[in-house]
């Protein structure tokens, strides 16, 4: 049987350090790796607590085309889907940390969801599946 998984999802960022500060400080992600590859390039990986199988690879824009894509990697659609075991806890924590929500939490067939934007304007869903605490 074949076994595969997504290990990293590249996220184009303006600056490594500001991105690390946002994802670890405001969202509570873990810094998994920060390796200098050259004078201008680093291999930086962050992931939500308990979710290190798939990480965000923070990739600093290195061309005008990449700079234009910062915050618009999916043309304004929700880009990333962050599931939590406690929706209310994480919504409250993010709200208190100043995360930019674009709507109020709502109920869906699958559970609770709210859309927020990261520091660059990428849209995320915070999702609490039905049947889980919170």
pLDDT digits (tens, 9 = 90+) for 92-101: 999 999 999 9
Q: What pLDDT, on the 0 to 100 scale, is given for residue 132? A: 58
Q: Per residue, what are the HEC states of the chain?
A: CCCCCCCEEEEEECCHHHHHHHHHHHCCCEEEEEEECCCCCEEEEEECCCCCCCEEEEEECCCHHHHHHCCCCCCCCEEEEEEECCHHHHHHHHHHHCCEECCCCEEECCEEEEEEECCCCCEEEEEEECCCCC
List the end-to-end C-alpha distance of the chain, in Å, as a whole number.
Answer: 36
Asked if pLDDT for residue 5 goes beyond 80, the answer is yes
List of residues 6+ apart from 3 with CB closer than 8 A: none
Q: What pLDDT, on the 0 to 100 scale, is given for residue 133? A: 53
pLDDT digits (tens, 9 = 90+) for 41-75: 999 999 999 877 899 999 999 999 999 999 999 99
List of residues 6+ apart from 22 with CB closer than 8 A: 118, 119
| CA 63 – CA 67 distance, rounded (Å) | 6
Return the closest-CA partner of residue 9 out of 73, 84, 83: 73
Instruction: Please state the rounded mean pLDDT for residues 28-42.
Output: 96
pTM of the model: 0.92
């Amino acid at each position: 049987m074949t076994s595969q998984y997504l290990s990293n999802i590249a996220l184009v960022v303006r600056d490594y350090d500001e991105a690390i500060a946002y994802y670890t400080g405001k969202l509570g992600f873990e810094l998994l790796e920060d390796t200098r590859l050259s004078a201008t390039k680093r291999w930086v990986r962050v992931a939500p607590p308990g979710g290190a199988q798939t990480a965000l690879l923070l990739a600093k824009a290195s061309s005008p085309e990449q700079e234009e894509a910062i915050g618009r990697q999916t043309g304004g659609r929700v880009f990333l889907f962050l599931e939590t075991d406690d929706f209310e806890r994480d919504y409250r924590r993010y709200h208190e940390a100043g995360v930019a929500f674009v709507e109020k939490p709502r109920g869906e067939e699958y559970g609770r969801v709210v859309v927020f934007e990261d520091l660059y304007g990428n849209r995320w869903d915070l999702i609490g599946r039905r049947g889980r605490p919170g």
